[in-house]
Structure 1
Amino acid sequence: MTDTIRDPHADKTRDALAAAHLYYLQDLTMDAIASELNTSRSSVSRLLSFARSTGLVDIQIKSPLSGITHLQNEIQNRYTVTAHIVPVPDHASEVDRLERVALSAARILGSFIDSNMTMGIAWGSTMTAMSRHLVSKPIHNAQIVQLNGAANTRTTGIVYASEILRRFGDAYSAYVQYFPVPAFFDDPATKRALWQERSTRYVLGVQATMDIALFGIGSPDADVPSHVYTSGYLDDDDVRLLREENVVGDVATIFLREDGSWRDISLNARATGPDLDTLRQVARRVCVSSGTSKLLALKGALAAGLMTDIIIDESTARALLD
């Protein structure tokens, strides 16, 4: 006869579900729940917090009378995208603004991804922040694929990019497919040659099967510095060339102008990010951005038709419509 070992995590999940049902569906007070579950009020509070943080409870606020709903409708009408607007006070710092948007985006993303899906992720400051707030959603047969290389002349970029993707993989019980190439090649011919290699073509093939593409907006003028512009990916000549070609930002290290054009920008021939024509074929393309300092780059991405969903703060939403 063997002893049965109980899983304490399963017990906590069961108790959290019970508390959530009583609180959200039966309108019992915390004191009443504590009495029914034979525990303390503070324990009930912790169980409800656990239920929210682990995705057992999904709270949504929908108000047809709110100003945010009006902004969402206006952005939908003007840009033909679904807007998810995060309330952030105007006086908030850019760092706090990024964290709030990233937190909300992490919650929203869970409703987009499901079993048997492939999601492509472009590394960057916004994805780093978002990866810290992901809510666990165990699904099966899901895959995460890296959209752009991360190496430069100072670092392989493996630690930086892999940590971001690992967090997404852990949150969704998904297999992670890395893309171990530089962010930018020195010579376009080198890129063309490597793109013929079977190992590279395999990753490109996985990218081509994406159900969701997730990315931020890079900008050389962002108040919270975009990683590609501050971490050794571009030298002085590159920066000068971007200015001369009127580049306002990038998506997955593919540069673009405010009018949405990108095909004739010199550095894109050396970049390892996805071809934007290919990206536009993905069924759901989720852009997460915060702060009006990225406004020109955001307008460029919208003009290029790169997104189906946009998750932004309220100030940036108003600026888009100004």
Structure 2
Amino acid sequence: MLSWEERRLMVKVAKLYYFEGWTQAQIAAKNNVSRPVISKLLNNAKKEGLVEIYIKDETVHTVDLEQKLEKMYDLDEVIVVSTAGYDPVMVKRQLGKTAAAYVGKKLQNVKSVGISWGTTLLSLVEEYPYERRDDIQIVPIVGGMGTKDVHIHSNQLAFHLAQKMNTSCSYLYAPAMVESDDLKERLVNSKDIAHVLDKARNVDMALVSIGTPYKSSTMKSIGYLDDDDINSLSKAGAVGDISSRFFDAAGEEIDHPLNNQVIGLNLEEIKNIPQVIGVVEGSYKLDSIEAALRGGYLDILIIDDQTAQALIQ
């Protein structure tokens, strides 16, 4: 049991150190003791519960989630975006803003950036600032032609991001999915498309998102998938997709005709890109995100806090 004098000394030392900003050496000199004595008093004050240190900031919650997810899925980095009180449109916008700032900071030594497609990546591109990055080439990693929702296709996103960076981009003159294996063979072997796919395999960084075919599916809404496709994907065990390539709950690319009809990088080729940044939001995609992380496709994950929390639970 601490005596009153000991408690008083501990509180006095702690007050000088934590509130008045004194150094341990200054406190030691004032009390005619050595610095290690002060250090021990401060430690004991914590042990006795006289001093409790906590970080008063809501970001402590997101930092905690980030560290847990990094450990759980062996990721290089996780950025969790706090979205309390935001409506869905604002959540996507906030995520895009955070992702744009993160990508902008990571571009030293990057000569080429691959980009997939979808509404989340559109948000990243829209929030990206105008700047000079004319030494970087932007490359779509999946086909991107169509008549519906053109603004979210990879070619359009590549063009838009290249404009923001004041640099050049390539175009994949093909849709993300074609009707037959025969047409796919002809397209991927044509000189222009083969050349861009080769560039895509060799980018330094790729920007991707994660989709689910079952709820709020962009691929369904723009006409790449119909109800029969979705039933057949379900039977084959598909839980989600990256860049229009479907994978199962273990994160393995599934053997399915739809995967064979995609003009773009397959999952193994995406995994081989040195830095793959995944930008995802929405708890309804939980199974898809978890499977993609199991598959090891992402190096960096940028995610909203609600979905991050759900992943950990």
TM-score range for the pair, normalised by the shorter chain length: 0.7 to 0.9
State the superposition RMSD in angstroms. Answer: 2.2
Structure with larger Rg:
2
State how far apart, in whole Å, the 2-side matches of 1:115 and 1:165 are: 19
Structure 1 residue identity aligned to 2:81: V
Superposed displacement of residue 287, structure 1: 0.2
Question: Which of these residues, 169, 172, 179, is aligned with residue 176 of structure 1?
Answer: 169
**Partners of 1:114 and 1:142 within 8 A in 2:** no
Superposed displacement of residue 161, structure 1: 4.1
State how far apart, in whole Å, the 2-side matches of 1:303 and 1:311 are: 16
| 1:52 alignment partner in structure 2 | none
**Partners of 1:248 and 1:258 within 8 A in 2:** yes
State how far apart, in whole Å, the 1-side matches of 2:68 and 2:148 are: 43
Question: Which of these residues, 114, 125, 144, is aligned with residue 131 of structure 1?
Answer: 125
State how far apart, in whole Å, the 2-side matches of 1:260 and 1:145 are: 25
Superposed displacement of residue 158, structure 1: 8.0
State how far apart, in whole Å, the 1-side matches of 2:231 and 2:91 are: 30
Superposition pairs for residues 162-311 of structure 1, below 5 Å? 162-222=155-215, 225-311=216-302
Deviations 1:130-180 (A, max 9, x none): 21110233123210001111335x559488544322221022222110111
**Partners of 1:290 and 1:312 within 8 A in 2:** yes
Question: Which of these residues, 72, 78, 87, is aligned with residue 83 of structure 1?
Answer: 78
| 1:317 alignment partner in structure 2 | 308
State how far apart, in whole Å, the 2-side matches of 1:163 and 1:193 are: 23
Superposed displacement of residue 273, structure 1: 2.9
1:92 partnered with 2:83: no
State how far apart, in whole Å, the 1-side matches of 2:248 and 2:172 are: 26
Superposed displacement of residue 116, structure 1: 5.4
Structure 2 residue identity aligned to 1:251: I
Superposition pairs for residues 4-153 of structure 1, below 5 Å? 66-81=60-75, 82-89=77-84, 91-114=85-108, 117-152=111-146
State how far apart, in whole Å, the 2-side matches of 1:299 and 1:83 are: 14
Structure 1 residue identity aligned to 2:248: R
Structure 2 residue identity aligned to 1:315: Q
**Partners of 1:146 and 1:165 within 8 A in 2:** yes
Superposed displacement of residue 311, structure 1: 0.2
When residues 226 and 169 of structure 1 are mapped into structure 2, their CA distance, relative to the original with a 3 A threshold, is farther
Fraction of identical pairs, as percent: 24
- Deviating 4+ runs (over 3 angstroms): 154-163
**Partners of 1:151 and 1:183 within 8 A in 2:** yes
Structure 2 residue identity aligned to 1:94: P
State how far apart, in whole Å, the 1-side matches of 2:103 and 2:158 are: 14
State how far apart, in whole Å, the 2-side matches of 1:159 and 1:124 are: 5
State how far apart, in whole Å, the 2-side matches of 1:253 and 1:318 are: 26
| 1:110 partner SS | helix
State how far apart, in whole Å, the 2-side matches of 1:313 and 1:116 are: 26
When residues 160 and 296 of structure 1 are mapped into structure 2, their CA distance, relative to the original with a 3 A threshold, is same
Superposed displacement of residue 266, structure 1: 2.8
| 1:132 partner SS | helix
Superposed displacement of residue 277, structure 1: 0.8
Structure 1 residue identity aligned to 2:163: D
| 1:178 partner SS | coil
Superposed displacement of residue 183, structure 1: 1.5
Structure 2 residue identity aligned to 1:101: L
Structure 2 residue identity aligned to 1:164: L
When residues 321 and 78 of structure 1 are mapped into structure 2, their CA distance, relative to the original with a 3 A threshold, is same
More moved, 63-72 vs 242-251: 63-72
**Partners of 2:143 and 2:155 within 8 A in 1:** no
Superposed displacement of residue 259, structure 1: 1.5
| 1:4 alignment partner in structure 2 | none
State how far apart, in whole Å, the 2-side matches of 1:118 and 1:100 are: 25
**Partners of 1:114 and 1:139 within 8 A in 2:** no
TM-score, normalised via structure 2 length: 0.76
**Partners of 2:134 and 2:168 within 8 A in 1:** no
Unaligned runs of 5+ in 1: 1-62
Unaligned runs of 5+ in 2: 1-56
State how far apart, in whole Å, the 2-side matches of 1:165 and 1:313 are: 24
| 1:200 partner SS | helix
Deviations 1:16-59 (A, max 9, x none): xxxxxxxxxxxxxxxxxxxxxxxxxxxxxxxxxxxxxxxxxxxx
State how far apart, in whole Å, the 1-side matches of 2:225 and 2:188 are: 22
When residues 190 and 108 of structure 1 are mapped into structure 2, their CA distance, relative to the original with a 3 A threshold, is same
